[in-house]
Every structure is written in C-alpha cells, then in structure tokens.
Amino acid sequence: MPDSAPRPSVATHCPYCALQCGTRLGHGASGTVVEPSDFPVNDGSLCQKGWTAPAVLDVPDRLRRPLLRGPDGRLAPADWDTALDTVATRLRRIRDEHGPDALAVFGGGGLTNEKAYLLGKFARLALRTSQIDYNGRFCMSSAAAAQNAAFGLDRGLPFPVADLDAADTVLLAGANPAETMPPLMRHLRKADLIVIDPRRTKTAERAALHLQPVPGTDLALALGLLHIAVSDGWCDKEYVQERTTGFDAAWRRAVTWWPERVEQVTGVPVAEQRAAVELLGEARRAYVLTGRGAEQHSKGSDTAAAFINLALALGLPGVAGRGYGCLTGQGNGQGGREHGQKADQLPGYRMITDPEARAHVARVWGTAPDALPGPGRSAYELLDALGTEGGPRALLVFGSNPLVSAPHSGHVAGRLDALDLLVVADFVPSETARTADVVLPVAQWAEEEGTLTNLEGRVLRRRRLLPPPEGVRTDLEVLHGLAVRLGEPAHRFPTAPRQVFDELRRASRGGTADYSGITYERLDAGEALHWPCPERPGGQPHPGTPRLFLDGFATPDGRARFAEVDHRDPAETPDADHPLYATTGRVLAHYQSGAQTRRVPELNDAVPEPYVEIHPDTAERSGLREGGTARVTSARGTTVARVRLVGSMRTDTVFLPFHHPGAGRANLITATALDPRSKMPEFKVCAVRIEPGSDAP
C-alpha cells in the first residue's frame, strides 16, 4: 500500500513513554480512536495518556504553517521555501563569520530512530558542527554511563519486560512506574516490591517495603545494601569469582558504610535495610531496577553503579530470570541515544573519539573521517554556552522544549534570548517554540512511519494512520530541505523513513547497538527483534537478542566490572536561608514538559496547574494552607505552586512536578551541578525555602 493512501486502521505504539505500549489506531465517528493491543509490554492496557493520545493530533493550536519572526518582533506565517531559505541563509552567514561550532542542534528522546540518526548526520555533515546533544542527557545518561562501565554495553533492560512477571522480588530505586508507566505495574503483581523513594509514591504504596531516604543519599543507601549483602552472607561468591572483576575495590568502599552509619546519613532504619537485602537475597528471581530518582544527581552515574554493584554481589545480571535494568523514560530514550544525536557518539552506539568508528561511519556517509567533527558540549553545557563568547549563536531544536525541561530554566531562557537564531521544529507551539525566530510545523506519531526502540531494546514500528495536515512536513523532509540549501547532495538526506533506516542499519553494523539485521519487512512480519541483531549475509537471519549477557558480558574479558564508588553530599544541602530539600518528578497525567499533555483536556483537568507537596507540619510552620499558593525559592530562582498537604512526606522535603510552564516551572529552582561522567544535571535535589504566595491572608 502506498504511504499516502488513507488506512482503515494500523497497529502502532503509544507516542509517550519508553514502554511503547502497543495500540491499534482507527477512525471513529469523532476522529481518531485508539485501542490497546495485546503487545507484551501492555497486554491490553493503557494509561490515561495513552487513551487520550489522539487528542494531540488535532489540538486547536496545532502548528500548520511555518512561522517567521518579523521586524515587528511577532511570529507571522510564511511559506516553507521562505522559511527554509531564511534559516539556511542565516546559518551560512553565522557559520561564515564564527565557524561551524557557532551552529548547534538540540534533539530529543522522543524522535524516531530515523530522525535521531539523520539529525546527527545533519549536524556533522550539513552544519559541520560538533555542537549537538539532546534532552536524553537529562534522562538516561547516568544509567548509561554506569551500564557501559559495568557491562560494556548499555541497554535499559537487558531482558524483556515480561520476564518481570515471574519475579519474586524487585527493587525499584528512584522509580515510580505506577505514575510514569502504569502498565508496567501489571508485570510486578507477583513480586514483592522494595521501593526506594523519598516520597510515598503510588508505587511505594504497593511496596512490600518502602525505604524513604533523605534526598541525595541513595548512593549511601546502595553502598549500605551492598555492605549488608556481604556481611550477612547473601553475596554469591561463586558468581563474583567467575563472572566479575573489581569486587575488592568496591567492597573497600562499602566497608565504611555499615548499616548504622547508613541510617544516620539516609534516615533509613537499619532493620529496613536488612529486610530489603533479605528480600532480595532469599528470592530465586530478583531484579534491581533504577529510575531517574537515583540517576538525576551530580553523582547519578556512581549511584547507578552502586546499585549495579549490589546486583552483581547478589549474582543477578546475566542470569535468566534475574537481573539489573534501568527503566528508560522517553518514548525513544533507548534508540535516541544510540544513533548519533549525543555529543560524544556516532550511530550504532559508537564513540565519536574512536578512530575505527569514525572511519566506518565516514565510509557509510561518503566522506572522510577527518571531516567528522569531534565530541561537542553536553546538553546543559551546550544550553549554558548559547550566545556566549565562543559559544553557539544559532540553535536548531527538534523534539524538545528546553525552556521548560532544562534545569535552572530562568537562566536557559536568557541564553536562548542571546542567540542570533533559534529554530524550533514542533507540532505544537511549545514554550520554546514561542520564543523562536523560525518555527517549523512537523508531523507527529500517527502521521509518520518509523521505528523506535523501547526500554527493553526491542525495535518497534511506528505506523502512519493519517497524512500530516496540509502545510505540515516531516522532520526528515525538514532536514532534507535544509541540507540541500546548505549545499549537501540531495541523496545524502533521504526523506523516506525506510531508506533512512536502511542507511542506519549500515552505519550501525559492527557497532554495540547493531541494527543491521533488522528490516522493516521483518518488523512488519511481527518478529520481536531486540538489538544487537547483526545481519548474516546468506545464512539464517539473526534472531535478535532479547536477553543479553547470559553467556558473558560485553567487556573484553566477558566479565562484569564492579565500580569503586563512594558517597558524597549533593551539590546543595539545606542551610539557614534554604532549610528544605526540594525534589522534582512526574505525574501520571503529564509527559515531560507537558507541551502535548497540557493540550489534552482530560489530562489537563487531572493536573491543571503546578503544585507542591509538603508535610502538614512544615506547611504550618511556613504559614501555608492546603489549596493556597506557595513561593518555592532556591539560590537560582522562585517558582509558584499550589500547596498540597501530604502526611507521608518527609518533614524536610517538598516535591514539585516539572510539567508546567511560566512562573510555575519547577526547573526555575533546580540545580545545574553536573555528574562528571554523564553530565546529568542534579534535578532531584536542591535546597529551598517556602513561603506563602500572593493569595495569603
């Protein structure tokens, strides 16, 4: 069937989180309708975001024409040629005056594999810049760094989600799937859950054991759990001996984290630490899973590593029915980090500094290895450098809304303002798009073909039900149009997703994330293909790799590596001026910056405005009442939120969801300290004070 013909219904996937629930899209009386499919991760279920996803397709303010900021300072409609000509001309001018690194690209973890791949290629070939990174840096990068170091490879879950069905015990460190990916909870019904979270979340309410540490102390807790695992005899010595290296150095750090000391630092009672290790140790099938709560810290990669250490000591990774994994967040958080929109990477999860990788990718791209730029700035460093001396002067944003989602967003707004040129491709006028010089309206999920890779490393087909609205182009068409205007040969930037994917397969061949054996035909035939899936010329096709590491880890010697990590305080701890911890997170009804979900009436009604959760005692001391407004202030700024009294909160901590724009942006207060390895900002802990808002009596 030709791509342009309308279809009665298609099997595809939800546009939101990394679970990528299977859905069937069709046409109903009042527009597009969605039904969950029996795809293994959701098995007939959907959360409210998934059920209401079609509403995003025709929100009233859907972008349908390019917009150009005129001399009067207002955005006004323009035709595509004018818009693209303008962008290309100004990019050229800036590059001529300031060099290629004055041009920058900011991508997103929601982009398809094809878009992520072509965006990386566009930056390096058409713009010739090293300055490309993406919002996945704010999401997965800490766990990625830790997994790469420990296992030689980073795939969120190295096993299918459905394996969790049989688990006896699952430790969730800083993960709240009951809100962030509800259908996952169906796979956790049998298991005893151990939930580590400073808040009593919906997930914690389901836990057999909820450990409620002080924000910023998960690393001490993980070290303490390792300590108990060893001292109480739960360590699998044979596994450690045969399948790992580095235990002694890791243990010598954990030896100073005996349970009573961990209790003093984390507030988690000794008895509960022990109970957690016992639950894990006694289980035949146990899993340790981490989420953003443990990872979004200036020591996030060490914290993820410490949980991996625990899993290794218990003999979990690389054993059927057991394991460590990271619950990836964004829809294509996994695939988006594998194909070259990361500052330090080339397609196939190759390092941009690796001469062999450069040579291979340059060959596929038909250029010389020397023509490829080196590594660029990481996401926050990139945003922080915009418009500064030596920093980028033009920024192209695809699939991201950094004005809401980046830390210290008041500062980021100033950096975006300082640009000579800001171009945003989006399907709704996001907060970032509203500040752009040029806005390019692009197609969204149900209007395009492509692939995504979900949290279990399974490559999935996104299928097109509808043509994009008139006046809207696909991201691939936008990249093509710009590349050609910048002098690139047209064939280098194909617009057909399948063609791009075939090139991605070649570029990934031999890399860590090898997609070369995966084809649209195989996916369309219903094969469940988890990477790595190398092409086997002539022979039986490779079946993909649903379970990694069963025969050995992806390290040179096949052994997993313990990491020598130690605890330290977060960049900010409470003081007299800012006596409370603030932590940020997600609510079920919203996704990321909320640019999509705030436009869906049912979701917006569920959580229409920002709020702050606070213990009633703390509220009383601060003069706050339920339903009033509060000003929450850190060293970087103030955000305004509606007060919610929550008796299960720690008295020293407040919580804010980060999905709302404007004066209610939680990221106005978040910290910019970066993890030295992953460059993850410290979203999850900063010091604040809280005061009544303007409606106070």
Partner 1 sequence: MSAMHHVLVVGHGPAAHRLVERLRAHGHRGPVTVLGAERRPAYNRVLLTSVLDGTLTAGDLELPAPPDGVRVRTGVTATDVDRARRLVRTDTGETHRYDRLVLATGARPRIPRLPGLLTADGRLTEGATTLRTADDAEQLADGPVVVLGAGALGIETTLALLRAGRDVTLVHPGPHPLHDRLDDTAGALLASRLRSAGARLRAGRAAVEYRPGKLVLDDGEVLRADALALCTGVVPETTLARRAGLAVRTGIVVDRHLRTADPRVHALGDCAEFDGEVPGLVGTAWEQAESLARILAGHDTHHRAGRPLLRLRAPGLDLACLGPPEPSGATRHITLSDPARGRHAALALDGDRVAGAVLIGLPRAAAALAQLYARGLPVPSDRFALLLGTPAGAHPARVELPDAAVLCHCNHVTKADLLRAWRAGARDLAGIAAATRATTGCGGCADDVRLVLASATGAPATPSTGAQATATSATGGNGAP
- Residues in contact with partner 1 by the rule CB under 8 A: 36, 44-48, 51, 177-179, 182-186, 189, 200, 202, 205-206, 212, 214, 230-233, 249, 251-253, 255-256, 258-261, 263-264, 267-272, 274, 564, 588-589, 602, 605-609, 611, 615-617, 620-621, 627, 642, 644, 646-648, 651-652
DSSP annotation of 245 reads: E
Least distance in angstroms from the C-beta of 684 to partner 1: 19
Question: Which CB, 85 or 652, lies closer to partner 1?
Answer: 652
Closest approach of partner 1 to the CB of residue 382, in Å: 29
Question: What is the C-alpha separation between 57 and 133, in angstroms, rounded?
Answer: 27
Closest approach, Cβ 235 to partner 1, in A, equals 11
Cis, peptide link before residue 468, omega less than 30° from 0: no
How many Cβ atoms sit within 10 Å of the Cβ of residue 489? 10
- Closest to partner 1 by CB, 70 vs 627, is 627
- Residue among 430 and 597 whose Cβ is closer to partner 1: 597
304 contacts 292 by C-beta, under 8 angstroms:
no
Closest by Cα among 473, 453, 452 to 462: 452
> Measured from the CB of residue 204, what is the shortest distance to partner 1 in angstroms?
9
Query: Smallest distance, Å, CB 639 to partner 1?
Result: 15
Q: What distance lies between CA 142 and its chain's CA centroid?
A: 10
**Reduced to 3 DSSP states, what percent helix, strand and coil does the chain have, rounded to the nearest 5?**
35, 20, 45
DSSP 316: -
Nearer to partner 1, 50 or 399 (CB): 50
Name the minimum Å distance from CB 339 to partner 1.
31
356 vs 626, which CB is nearer to partner 1?
626
User: Smallest distance from the beta carbon of 652 to partner 1, in angstroms?
Assistant: 6
Closest Cα to residue 239, out of 207, 275, 281, 200?
281
Characterize 203-214 residue by residue with b for buried, 16 or more Cβ atoms within 10 angstroms of its Cβ, and e for exposed: bbebbebbbbbb
Residue nearer to partner 1 on the CB measure, 51 or 398? 51
CB of 37 to partner 1, least distance (A): 13
Of 31 and 70, the one with the shorter C-beta distance to partner 1 is 31
Q: Which is nearer to partner 1, 199 or 461 (CB)?
A: 199
Give min distance, CB of 379 to partner 1, in A. Answer: 27
Residues 6 or more apart whose CB falls under 8 angstroms from that of 222 comprise 173, 294, 303, 306, 307, 309, 310
Q: Concatenated DSSP letters for 431-467?
A: HHHHT-SEEEEB--GGG--EEEE-TTSBEEEE--SSP
Contact 190, 361 (CB under 8 A): no
Q: Catalogue the E-assigned strands of 347-504.
A: 350-351, 394-398, 421-426, 438-441, 450-453, 459-462
478 Cα distance to chain centroid: 24
For residue 13, the cross-strand partners are 22
* Closer residue to partner 1 (CB): 255 or 696: 255
CB atoms within 10 A of CB 366: 10
CB of 520 to partner 1, least distance (A): 30
Cβ 606 to partner 1, closest distance in Å? 4
Nearer to partner 1, 263 or 431 (CB): 263
Choice between 155 and 299, CB closer to partner 1: 299
Residue with tokens 């590491």: 549
By C-beta, is 6 or 608 nearer to partner 1?
608
Q: How far is the CB of 179 from partner 1 (least distance, A)?
A: 7
Give Cα separations from 108 to 341, 515, 693 (angstroms). Answer: 8, 20, 34
Q: Which residues of 405-428 are buried (b: 16+ CB within 10 A; e: fewer)?
A: bbbbbebbbebbeebbbbbbbbbb
